[in-house]
Amino acid sequence: MGETTTDLLITGATRVGGLADEGGDLLVRDGVLLDPAEAGRDGSRELVRIDADGLLAVPGLVDLHCHLREPGREDAETVATGAAAAARGGFTAVLAMANTVPVTDTAEAARHVRALGEQAGLGAVVPIGAVSKGLDGQELAELGLMARTGVRVFSDDGHCVSDARLMRRALEYVRAFDGVIAQHAQDPRLAGPDACCHEGEVSGRLGLAGWPAAAESTIIARDVQLAALTRSRLHVCHVSTAESVEVLRWAKQRYPQADITAEVTPHHLLLTTDLLAGYDPTFKVNPPLRPAEDVEAVRAALADGTIDAVATDHAPHARHDKEHAFADAAFGMVGLETALGVVVETMVRTGLADWERVVEATSTTPARIARLTDQGRRLAVGAPATLTLVDPTARAVVDAADTRSLSRNNPWHGRELPDPVVATVAAGRLTYRR
């Protein structure tokens, strides 16, 4: 859709979202939502119509946590292919983690990632800056210089900022420009580099190195207190255990003045550690899949707001990195294209959440955490034309080969899931249409 010569008229959709106003058609022109009565009045503009009767129009989805691999591992993913997968999944903005090669730990590296996203033109690609140089946990990266380029989220994801003094310094530093530290909570002394399976009966039976729940919850317990101490913003990545949920619930009650947020991944909302019985490396992820009681706990926490957001942790890998013995394979799963479907399956179809809560967790709250003011949080005249059309009833069998990603490490292959995304509009551009 040309941005300056084509209008897009969406008719019949029901708007959902806490900041959406009620009813009515949606007219997209030059990146902005206009009064639908303007449609067709300018004869020099082509009018494209989408009949959205029975569909929901929601503010565009925002992913706080994905791995786009470029620069350095373009065999697994590029910014362009990752952005295309994101558009297919209904996302209009994605935050790209810093564990690239080289690491995104300088202003120049951050600008490069943002430029790649602009070249792709499929939605906002926002770089996440590293907390420490080279992700080595020893010395702070160029937080201030990266902030000048617009970076507001900093993470050593894949590695925990395990040194309490460094974590405190990082929290203090980013407070000056309203940044947030996104922590990969994994105590390396309790769950080292070989840990690959939830520590319990399954890990013992399979002979896999255990990753205890305490390795996650103890880091979170430390960090929420540091966030309160420094009066800074903390975001906890990929919460996966009932113990972690209880720590977060306590922290939000104990420190109401602190800005503490957390995310859960789609796979931790549905998949359990029992899937590891066949040693399929597709299901190797960090943090690991957990028992059913943990899945139940994180679902309940997402429903009641203890966990604020859903983030994909989209982690594409080339075949030669995954096709190994389980203990030697790379961590991670792809997830951008299926994320909303899994949330619908686990939260809406079970009655744990309505669509208003889904929009909060996948769109408006992630945009707020990332300080993305340009994302369409209001479906109203004059607002940015950034939205997703969803069919709440559509279902499909997932085919790992039917993807816009370069990688195929898809844990949902062969499973029937909701397939809700019908169209994605990012900054006025139709980036995906089924």
Which residues make up each annotated binding site for substrate? 67-69, 99, 286, 317, 331-332
- Distance (Å, rounded) from C-alpha 59 to C-alpha 91? 9
**Half-sphere exposure of residue 302, counting CA atoms within 13 Å on the CB side?**
38
Structure tokens at 181: 């530290």
Report how far apart the first and last C-alpha atoms of the chain are (Å, whole number). 15
- Distance (Å, rounded) from C-alpha 8 to C-alpha 27? 6
Catalytic residue among 105, 308, 313, 419: 313
Binding site per annotation, positions for Zn(2+): 65, 67, 157, 184, 238, 313
Best CA proximity match to 14, nearest among 24, 29, 5, 6: 24
- Distance (Å, rounded) from C-alpha 253 to C-alpha 377? 27
Q: Find out whether the peptide bond into 316 is cis, omega within 30 degrees of 0.
A: no
Beta strands in 103-222 (DSSP E): 124-127, 153-154, 180-183, 197-198, 210-211
Contact 109/75 with Cβ under 8 angstroms? Answer: no
- Distance (Å, rounded) from C-alpha 398 to C-alpha 54? 23
Best CA proximity match to 60, nearest among 31, 97, 82, 96: 31
Print burial letters for 373-399: b (CB count within 10 Å at least 16), e (below 16): eebbbbbeeebbbbbbbbbbebeeebe
- The yes-or-no answer on residue 313 being catalytic is yes
Q: Which residue has the tokens 């520590």?
A: 199
- Distance (Å, rounded) from C-alpha 168 to C-alpha 238? 21
Structure tokens at 59: 């503010």
Contact 59/20 with Cβ under 8 angstroms? Answer: yes
Which residues are part of the catalytic machinery? 313
